[in-house]
Amino acid sequence: MAVVDATKETFHDLVGSGVVLVDVWADSCRPCVALAPHMESIASANPDVTVVKLDASKARRLVMSLQVRGLPTMLLFSDGQEVDRITDPNLNAEQVDAWLSRAREKLQTAPNQEV
């Protein structure tokens, strides 16, 4: 599945069902830009996860309402509910993979609960 670009208008529909990984990013964030190609790999390797990119510079109010305090931030949603997040200015592809794997395992053992 391809990475989907979210806007403030489409965000809630995109995260409303299934498991959704949201990459909150900005062009001015070097780690965000470095992670961009890896998000495509995550989407290909996890066809049951929708991967969504949210440009923080174009959806500031939405990003504030999500209480994102730094970039890059990855949010994991399950059926419209945020279940986990990771924020780290030094975030790399391996950390994202490990975090997503752990979060998905927890989701399978405790659905609809924060992981």
User: Which residue out of 14, 20, 22, 32 is catalytically annotated?
Assistant: 32
Which DSSP state fits 68?
-
Helices (H), 16-76: 30-45, 60-65
32 carries an active-site annotation: yes
Which DSSP state fits 90?
T
- Report the alpha-carbon angle 71-74-80, nearest 5: 130
Q: Is 58 exposed, middle or buried (0-12, 13-18, 19+ CB in 10 A)?
A: middle
**DSSP 3-state of 25:** strand
100 carries an active-site annotation: no
User: Which residue out of 22, 24, 29, 62 is catalytically annotated?
Assistant: 29
Active site residues per annotation:
29, 32
